[in-house]
Amino acid sequence: MSNNFINTLGIDLSIGKVKLCLLSLDKENKFITGAWTSLPVEFEYIDEKNYEFSKGLSIAIEAFLKHHNLNVESIKSTIFCTGGAYYMFKSFIDGLIYTASVLKMIFNRQKVYFIRCDGKLFKLREIFDISEKEASAFNSTNFLGTSILATKIFDEGLAIDMGTISTSIIPIINREIDPNAKLNPSGYTKHRYITGKHIWYGSMHTPLNYITTSVKTNKGFYNLILRSCSTNTLCNILGILPSSVANVHVSNKNSKIQDDDNLSYIQMAETLGLDIYSISKEELYEVAKNIYYIMIYKLSEIIRNIVNNTNFSSFENLKVLSCGLGQNAFIVPALLNAGFDKSQIITIEEDKESNLWTATSVYGLAIKAMEDIIKEPLNVDFKDLNS
């Protein structure tokens, strides 16, 4: 690629997979093109709470760049966040330092940044001086991409991102990310858990008995057994999330949305302690629909609580940026149930060619890295991007 382009790379590492977003800025006309992917990353077991992923991450990055006729040396700046990879280590600080060492090896000449929960960028060399207590401020930071985009779109509201395993609900006030993050970065992860700003509701991997322990149909009540299937089964039975899109985000073949509808009905029957011959598909569909409604209601209650406990000027003026794999299947219905009007909700256009709308966690980061290089803000417009 010509020297007329500036390339930045956003990296969102989770357990077993990585999201990558490449942005290329034409310095002459300031036109941005972008592309993203989700690739598996092998976490090799060393011993208890000690894993090695340097080889897997390096392979994924090199393959992605090669697909776009680039190499590591073509990247001007890299920015990193994680969706929880540090849980694989004995402590957040162990995961943070190990990851910094891996990125130093892969990008030995490029600018590499880690992003803290308040949006502050830290140079790679600064990470090695982070204390044990401060390390949690760098864990589960993949909510920041969507939050960064939201600050560019509206003054007050929420940035909501639902992925495969969790949902982030972050207040935006005066075009800034939740003030609590800046007030106490080292305690912000704990704060998010306590307040519901981070919940383990995802569109693929949430066990159904985590949502509810029982479900009612026209025939009566059923208790869900502990060997429960997950929300991916809901998505398949109800047809609310296309398998062609969802499965890009899943590295484990056993967690994928199955094209065989019958298998999903078998799994749903087993969740009730039955088999496919003991209960009709019609009633199993009703079970799936009612669990889905329970999940939507619980999401809407959490959203209401966060809004009520945030010092917004007025509810009517709030906007919401809804992103991620579950933006339309789960988040939008929950927002409507929480009292938001459709005019208040912003969703990213579902570009079927690139599906960049599912990768805001890394898109927002790549934008942040690009702005750090050119020293000026960039406008956000997904329509200008092509894969």
Supply 202's token pair: 């995802």
Q: Which of 87, 90, 255 is nearest to 163 (CA)?
A: 255
* pLDDT score at 379: 76
CA distances from 245 to 128, 250, 281 (A): 38, 10, 25
The residue among 270, 264, 205 whose CA lies nearest residue 238 is 264
pTM of the model: 0.90
Q: Which of 19, 25, 18, 138 is nearest to 373 (CA)?
A: 25
Written as six digits, the tokens of 134 are 């401060």
Beta bridge partners of 111: 77
Residue-level pLDDT at 109: 85
* Distance separating alpha carbons of residues 91 and 386, to the nearest angstrom: 39
Q: Can you list the domains of the chain with their CATH numbers?
A: 5-142+358-384 (3.30.420.40), 153-347 (3.30.420.190)
**pLDDT computed for residue 250 by the predictor:** 56
Q: Residues of the chain whose pLDDT is less than 70?
A: 1-2, 243-260, 349-357, 380-387
pLDDT for residue 301: 98
What is the residue-wise DSSP string for 161-229? EE-SS-EEEEEEETTEE-HHHHH-GGGHHHHHHHHTSEE---TTT-BHHHH-SEEEETTEEEEPPSS--
Helix axes 231-238, 281-308, angle to 10 degrees: 120
**pLDDT score at 386:** 35
Query: Would you say 300 and 129 are in contact if contact means Cβ atoms under 8 Å apart?
Result: no
Q: How far apart are CA 292 and CA 162, in angstroms?
A: 15
